[in-house]
Amino acid sequence: MRKGRWIQSVLISTVVAIAAFVAVISAHYHPVLGLDLQGGASVVYKPARKVSAATLDETISIIENRVNALGVGEPSIGQQGNDIVVDLPGIKDPKKALSFIGQTAILQFRPVLCTAPLYTKPPASLHLTKQQLTPTCPTSATDTASTLQYVPTTSPLTATSASTAVLPEYSGNSKTVVARYVVGPTLLTGNAIKSVYAAPESQTVTNKWAINFTLTAKASPVFNQIAKTYYHQLLAVVLDGTVQSAPEINSTNFNGQGQITGNYTQATATDLATILHYGALPVQLVQQTVQTISPTLGAASLRAGLIAGVAGLILVMLYTIFYYRLLGLVVVGGLATTFAALWAIIALLGHTAQLTLNLAGVTGIIVSIGVIVDSYIVFFERLKDEARNGRSLRASVDTGFSKAFRTIIAADLVSFIGAALLYYFSIGDVRGFAFFLGLSTILDVASAWFFTRPLVLWIGNSISPKRYRWLGVPLVQVTQKPLGGTGVIRPSRVAAKGV
């Protein structure tokens, strides 16, 4: 029986949409909101000069490190042409964070006062005073040794300006802290380095690498002074508030040149050399746009968008029910399943592919309500046309759909081509908008085929002819009596031959 298959198709598509919706909800996947909806900061940087792709990649990875050091939830760092786009949703102090990210040189040489144990959370029973939680090295007179492990690592935002700080050293590229140091005030900055290169420690030992550097003429005497003061102590090379290396000073006179040796491989030595050489970023970055939005304003926009969308949706549903009656309910069901599926896809992509839903995207979805409902209107008007031409309801549904579906595909394709080109060529918000419009266009076609068609076919076959007026505005065939020459309105030719 075909009826069985129709019901099956309706049920399956509804169940799939709702199951997907329930699945993402129960997996706690929520659409990732853009920062215009949850507050935060966004900045677009452009390199001050033309740079190679490799340099740009390097810059991006340095920015990534900095952003990761900030500990922002779900940041996104991307490349758009030659621009670098950094989004920091939900960040507390956007101004400070942005100046931290965009800075070109925060390389510091700082004395290591002592090494600190890795951070452990202080037990609840222990009531530490603020004094005990400041980074101080243990002296015989105090018992700070026992509390130093409870002193949190200094945030990179404040580390660069603090006179003493507890700074972490990470192992390689991972986020694991391998050591912590209590460091003193900055003695020299990255400007002191004139040139630097990585090379094997000696010609005989090629598996151990060292970093050779030359100081500027001005910095050379300062460096010697430092070497005298901190002789046989550790000197921390600090980048963006993290210790890159803490070599021991083994001489008091460097003559403007030095070598850092240690447990370096070729890769780690080259990395450190690059950091020393460029200060921090290989190229100066110019801010193209900066946007900071407070969480309250973001929430207000989200609320405005949601209320507007829901109100629009309800009005559209009321109108379709008023105009198409029972078929209007089909529209409501179709919209419900389509939006359940859309929500699931947005939440899933937000979780797996960093898709963010911003205000432009919300608008795209609101606009797509019109596109989706239009498909129903095309179908229903077609159906009525067919019925008016004298076909039975079930025949009308069948031919009406196959004709309408062609139109829907043609029109949706235009919409989709537009959205795809818009997505491909545009930048910024436009992309988000185009993506959501394109996505809903695809869902529209799917829903027309798997949901609307079988449901209307089923209704068309089940409904008793007595109930036909449930299908909306009564079907009227308007004809014209031959009135001589005065008639402006001709009989519908199509209608006349339909029988």
Partner 1 sequence: MSDDTINHHAQTDDETPVLEPREEAKSEGFGVQTIDVSEASWWRRLGAGATHYPFVHRSRYYFVLSFLVIVAGLAALTGRGLNFGISFKGGVSWQVPSATLTVKQANTIVARAGVTQATVVTLGSHSARTLEVQADLTKLSGAARTAKENQVASLLAAKAHIPSSAVAIEFVGPTWGGQITDAAVKALIAFFVGIILYISIRFEWKMAAAAIIAVVHDLLVTIGIYALSGFQVTPSTVIAVLTILGYSLYDTIVVFDRIKENVGGLVDKGKMNYSDAVDLSVNQTLARSLNTSLVAVIPILSVLVIGAYVLGATTLKNFGLALVVGLTSGAYSSLFIASPLLARFKEREHRYRQIRARIERRAVVAEPEGMTAS
**Considering beta carbons, is residue 205 or 315 the nearer one to partner 1?**
315
Distance CA 428, CA 426 (A): 7
Residue 44: CB minimum distance to partner 1, A: 7
Q: Is 265 in the site for partner 1 (CB under 8 A)?
A: no
Least Å distance, CB 232 to partner 1, is 39
Return the beta strands (E) in 216-358 as ranges: 235-239, 242-245, 257-264, 285-293, 356-357
Q: Whole-angstrom Cα distance, residue 241 to residue 244?
A: 9
According to the binding rule CB under 8 A, does residue 4 interact with partner 1? Answer: no
DSSP code per residue over 159-170? HTT-SSEEEEEE
Residue 403 binds partner 1, judged by CB under 8 A? yes
- Report the C-alpha gap between 432 and 187 in whole angstroms: 47
Give the residue from 223, 245, 227, 228 showing the smallest Cα distance to 236.
245
For partner 1, which residue of 11, 12, 205, 417 counts as binding (CB under 8 A)? 417
With tokens 């105009």, the residue in question is 323
Alpha-carbon span 158 to 423, nearest angstrom: 40
Binding of residue 279 to partner 1 (CB under 8 A):
no
Q: Which residue, among 457, 462, 455, 463, has the nearest Cα to 13 in the 3D structure? A: 455
Q: Rounded to whole angstroms, how far apart are CA atoms 459 and 318?
A: 20
What's the min distance (Å) between Cβ of 410 and partner 1?
5
Q: Which two tokens stand for residue 148?
A: 């130093």
CA–CA dist 298, 301 (Å, integer): 5
Q: Which is nearer to partner 1, 282 or 460 (CB)?
A: 460
| Rounded least distance, CB 321 to partner 1, Å | 12
385 forms part of the interface with partner 1 (CB under 8 A):
yes
Of 147, 220, 292, 440, which lies in the binding site for partner 1, with binding defined by CB under 8 A?
A: 292
The only residue of 398, 400, 444, 459 in contact with partner 1, by rule CB under 8 A: 398
Decide: is 11 part of the binding site for partner 1 (CB under 8 A): no
As a whole number of Å, the CA-based R_g of the chain is 34
Residues 20-79 close enough to bind partner 1 by CB under 8 A: 36, 44, 46
Q: Does 2 bind partner 1 (CB under 8 A)?
A: yes
DSSP SS3 for 323:
helix
The residue behind tokens 């598996």 is 207
Interior/surface letters 309-345, b for 16+ CB within 10 angstroms, e for the rest: beeebeebbeebbeebbbbbbbbbbbbbbbbbbbbbb
Tell me which of 429, 445, 449, 463 binds partner 1, using CB under 8 A: 429
8 A C-beta contact, residue 144 and residue 113: no
Residues 360-379 that bind partner 1 (CB under 8 A): 360, 363-364, 366-367, 369-371, 373-374, 377-378
Residue recorded with tokens 């390097």:
58
- Closer Cβ to partner 1, 200 or 312, answer by number: 312
C-beta of 95 vs 232, nearer to partner 1: 95
Point out which span in 8-16, 25-33, 341-349, 489-497 binds partner 1 (CB under 8 A): 489-497
189 binds partner 1 (CB under 8 A): no
Q: Does 326 bind partner 1 (CB under 8 A)?
A: no
- Using CB under 8 A, pick the residue from 90, 138, 184, 418 that binds partner 1: 418
| x/- letters, 297..316, toward partner 1 (CB under 8 A) | x--xx-xxx-xxx-xxx-xx
Q: How many other CB atoms sit within 10 Å of the CB of residue 427?
A: 11
332 lines the binding site for partner 1 (CB under 8 A): no
| CB of 199 vs partner 1, minimal distance in Å | 37
Burial class of residue 356, CB neighbours in 10 A (0-12, 13-18, 19+):
buried
The reply to whether 126 sits near partner 1 by the rule CB under 8 A is no
Q: Is the CB of residue 77 less than 8 Å from the CB of residue 85?
A: yes
Transcribe 66-131 into DSSP letters: HHHHHT-SS-EEEEETTEEEEEEET-S-HHHHHHHHH-S--EEEEEEEEEEPPP-PPPTT----TG
Shortest distance, position 352 Cβ to partner 1, whole Å: 26
Of 62, 67, 437, 448, the one binding partner 1 (CB under 8 A) is 437
SS3 412: helix
Binding-site string for partner 1 from residue 131 to residue 170, where x marks contact by CB under 8 A and - marks none = ----------------------------------------
User: 258: which 2 tokens?
Assistant: 């030095």
Site string for partner 1, 459-488 (x = CB under 8 A): ------xxxxx---xxxxxxxxxx-xx-xx
Say whether residue 355 binds partner 1 (CB under 8 A).
Answer: no
| CB of residue 202 to partner 1, shortest distance in Å | 45
Number of residues binding to partner 1, judged by CB under 8 A: 112
Asked if 192 is part of the footprint of partner 1 (rule: CB under 8 A), the reply reads: no
| Position 287 contacts partner 1 (CB under 8 A) | yes
Q: What's 234's DSSP letter?
A: B
Note whether 394 binds partner 1 by CB under 8 A: yes
User: Measured from the CB atom, is 205 or 297 closer to partner 1?
Assistant: 297
| Alpha-carbon gap, residue 358 to 365, rounded angstroms | 11
10 or 35: CB nearest partner 1: 35
Q: What is Dmax (Cα atoms) for the chain?
A: 119
Give CA–CA dist 383/385, Å, rounded.
5
Q: Which stretch binds partner 1 (CB under 8 A): 57-65, 161-169, 429-437, 448-456?
A: 429-437
Position 277 contacts partner 1 (CB under 8 A)? no
